[in-house]
Chains A and B, each alone.
Chain A
């Protein structure tokens, strides 16, 4: 470590610091401005400080029903998180063995990841419109639409979160020692026991990471939801709508609240990951402890 750093280090370190400031600076500007005084505007300087804009958000003061959108996004995010974790871990395990269609599934997942969101969103929108037309042509009573938060909306979000989940599973298993599973099998463990008591505890920190991606990507998703969500809006869609109409700092207050949820989830997940890793280091190996 005592080795002298080359001059390029200091130049690159400055560049990195500038990049981090570029990343975070604007965000912190609106967090500060959301505490703008009652007479303040959308820009600096601060005209006193207050919580007026936050109470405006909570009371709904003139803008759309934010509370409901908040709740909808939260529920959808949690469902997407759980499904992303379950489906990614399950498919990730499948890729360790060979199965028919493995290559196709991999390429479809990559295609889903890089497909321009507007195309996916349009497709899902069309699919549900055609479904509605079809059901109506059958003369089903009382059918309005199949489109909704937990049908088309959920599907749209999963096309975005599942590829990330699958790629993280690949990254995990690239570094996974398969002999651990063999050892469990040799000791007579069933496939489920092997997974539950050997594989899962090892991959758990990364699985929490998949959950983190699942929730945050859904919580902030906008482009894919835009045509596929039906009559109700998620929080990011409401926020985007507000950008063209709102001229008061309540949009910053809403942005700050939304970010607060993201940060809460991010830091909770990171802490859980750290705790799990620490536990693995403590209990992971009993080598040399004289246990039989």
Chain B
């Protein structure tokens, strides 16, 4: 009896959080799925079963066949941005985490330097995006510098409001999501393992490949999940840094919403959700398979 009462008390303690997630996460998700199968006209949604949201989205995908239709092109572009960002954040995040975990020896310095990496995460993303304008703009520092050195005669146009600036900003904003989980995995690695590897004659590189990377894999996967889901659904960075000219999976949803085509927006959201789940589940599978071997 007391066990039951204790468990009920615990349930009550968790209930407020459950309620928030039920009202503002699960229920909304359900509405997205339901509304995605509704009909719509120019200005409102019509609660009648229709797959127009989906068929409109894939319009022309078969008719134009050798050519890719808009939605497929957009997804390919989004995945390209995603892969580029993922590779860069992983390389940078891994190196930074490795430095913090293995080369910074005092605990205090470790905390100070980790905080230094965390503080920008607590400040506004929009401001961190705007911050590139004075550096990358037509008259920005980079163009001025390169012109001053005589390397170029015309300002480089592709520095800002381009795919380059989108990826740069994404890396700038989200490498943090790689650093933290990878660092977290690395500090749990028993230092004696590494000493043992050195004693057995392994080179630094061999230790890295055979010991550190396999043991840091959970952190790498968690960081990858963060970065990939953020970039797949991103519409703010792509919008601001792409000068509202580049399409992405998240941007389609936003465009449909601005046109008040809610079922179409919901259909696109469901597609985005499906693809995101697919990527995450294959990522987690990679890790589990390795564990079995």
Contacts and interface: CB of A to CB of B under 8 A. Distances in A.
B27 A243 contact: no
Given A126-B266, A155-B24, A162-B20, A43 B134 contact: yes
Interface string A80-94: 000000111011011
Contacts of A72: none
Tell me what chain A mostly uses at the interface: helix, strand, loop, or mixed: helix
Contacts of A5: 103
Contacts of A124: 24, 28
Interface stretch (A49-57, A176-184, A256-264): A256-264
Interface in B61-77: none
Interface in B110-137: 113, 115-117, 119-120, 122-135, 137
A90 B24 contact: no
A239 B137 contact: no
A27 B122 CA distance: 13
Contacts of B6: 97
A105 B134 contact: no
Given A114-B226, A124-B28, A223-B236, A259 B137 contact: no
B141 A108 contact: no
A262 B124 contact: yes
A22 B179 CA distance: 15
Interface string B7-28: 1111111101110110111111
Contacts of B159: none
B40 to A, nearest CB: 12
Nearest to A130: B31
Nearest to A239: B126
Given A43-B141, A155-B20, A90 B14 contact: yes
Nearest to A166: B17
A230 interface: no
Interface in A24-46: 24-27, 29-30, 33, 41-44
Contact of B23 (A119, A155, A252, A263): A155
Contact of B253 (A122, A191, A262, A266): A122
B250 interface: yes
Contact of A99 (B10, B122, B128, B244): B10
A101 to B, nearest CB: 7
A14 to B, nearest CB: 10
Interface in A63-86: 86
A227 B257 contact: yes
B290 interface: no
Interface string B253-273: 110010000100110010011
Interface string A83-125: 0001110110111111111100100110110111111101111
A42 B137 contact: yes
Interface stretch (B49-57, B93-101, B211-219): B93-101
A202 interface: no
B141 A30 contact: no
B197 interface: no
Given A26-B134, A105-B14, 17 more contacts: A12-B103, A27-B123, A87-B20, A93-B10, A97-B7, A99-B11, A101-B14, A105-B21, A112-B21, A115-B29, A118-B235, A122-B253, A122-B257, A126-B35, A222-B125, A222-B236, A259-B127
Name the 3 nearest CB pairs between A and B, nearest first.
A116-B233, A123-B28, A155-B24
